[in-house]
Amino acid sequence: MRRRAACVRRSPRVFALLLVGAALACDSRRPLESRGAPPQSLGWSRPPEATAKRRPDAGAPEPRRPRSERRAEAPAEPEHSSALDATDAAGSVSGPFIIDGLVDVAPAGPIAATERGVAMYDRDNRLQLARLEGPLEAAPEPRETRVTPLPDEAGPFTLARGPVIRRGLAYWVSRGRLLGQSLASAGAGDPLVLAEDARVGTRAAVPVGPSRQLQDIPQVAAYIARPTEPDGPATAKLWVEGHNTGFGLTDDLSSGHSVALAATSRGLQAIFLEARTGMSSIHLRALTFSKKHEPVLGADHIVWVGGPARPTTELFTLPSAEPRVLGFLTLERDITHFGLVSVDVPLAPGTEFPIEPEWRLYDNGIEPSPFALAEVCGRSVVALARPSSPVPHAVQELVLIDLAADARTPPALVARSRAFFDISLGSASGGALLAYVADHRTWVRSIRCARP
């Protein structure tokens, strides 16, 4: 009120004009938290209550809100999509994949789809696991996704980066710490604090690659460390089991925004994103280990330079049996184009950098732009959220894309929503689990391999 009074204490002749201007000026300084509730669901990605899997003790479904209470800006119909519709809550068949029924797992929260189920952690960093019951057998028709939802008393959850899983151990960043806990102890016990210098809002990373190339790599997790000085850069670090301190992956002239680890036929490779004001660059460094499992860093190669990244930009990698590293991120190509960038980095000696990337452009920009990668039924698959049309505020769609398929092969449209916060795709024997956060809930479908 003091500021408003100061804004309007002027000559009476212009009192009314200044009063309006002062109100606008003062209101424009309201904090972000006061700018309204998050977007409401459109109801397209949430299945009818009669067909979605529910717990026996969940009680009667919540009544649908009357149309008059829905947000005025919500379009009446979703925009036309070039993808094959596989949004049926009971399941669908799409090319080589059997997409099973949709399950409501829990309220929205940090997720990781794994071969054991959907891992989440709550506000108190209690690890939870919505378990997958039984293997994913090949079958010609969709069936119920055999994931048991979390109980009502699980949570409360908060929106954050999900955990990453390796050898039955989950790693995640919370409250400035890198934490770790076994999936076997989910629902009981507390996580271990592995590092105290992790940057809030980032995701940890574990090695990704063919199983034979992961065997000799010790239990490690990469993470982004917060700056040690107020104006200093964030850095990428590596936690190694048996060591009390993290090892730096970035040198004194580089910073770290997001990091991934790729196990290849030429050893472990660290790939990280350096985000600066006017540009982003992807770095690659080889990692070897001494007899005491201390990492030894190779040369720092800048493999690609692109436009500026966003705070939510993340870098992921795909397994590859060939001597190469596949890096993926979503980024603006230029002032009018946005899409998924894939950078294929050969590890052969004498490779010239930077690498020319491939782009899969979206109809419009999107923020956040979540996506996930995995090997599913012997295919490299990306699950990503994208706008359904170039129209501003268009409905978003979650699609499955076979990266090796012909460009004319349409992807599978799995869900629609006003916005997707996170997506996780976890390989499993016989297929994969696809989990995503949308409409204030956490959802999962199993994806099985179609019979030949």
Nearest to 120 by CA among 82, 150, 84, 147: 150
Q: What is the pLDDT of residue 89?
A: 95
| Mean pLDDT along residues 266-290 | 94
Q: What is the mean pLDDT of residues 219-231?
A: 94
43-61 confidence digits (pLDDT tens): 334 443 434 554 444 444 4
Contact 256, 274 (CB under 8 A): yes
Which has more pLDDT, 37 or 104?
104
Please tell me the predicted confidence (pLDDT) of residue 452.
62
Share of the chain above pLDDT 90, in %: 71
CA distance 22 to 106: 45
Helix, strand, coil shares of the chain, percent, nearest 5, are 10, 40, 50
The domain of 346 spans 46-53+76-449
For residue 377, pLDDT beyond 50: yes
Which 3 state secondary structure label does DSSP give 24? helix
Residue 229 lies in a domain: yes
pLDDT digits (tens, 9 = 90+) for 288-302: 999 999 999 999 999
* Residue 197 or residue 253, greater confidence: 197
32 part of a folded domain: no
Q: How many CA atoms lie within 13 A of 403 on its CB side?
A: 26
> Residue 90's pLDDT band (boundaries 50, 70, 90)?
very high
Asked whether residue 304 is domain-assigned, the answer is yes
Please report which confidence band the pLDDT of residue 2 belongs to, taking 50, 70 and 90 as the band edges. very low
pLDDT score at 103: 98
Q: What is the CATH number of the domain that holds 391?
A: 2.130.10.10
pLDDT band for position 278 (50/70/90)? confident
**258-267 confidence digits (pLDDT tens):** 999 999 999 9
pTM value surpassing 0.85: no
Number of domains, the chain: 1
Cβ contact 48:89 at 8 Å: yes
Q: Is 13 inside a domain boundary? A: no
- Within-domain flag for 17: no
Contact indicator for 260, 287 with CB cutoff of 8 Å: no
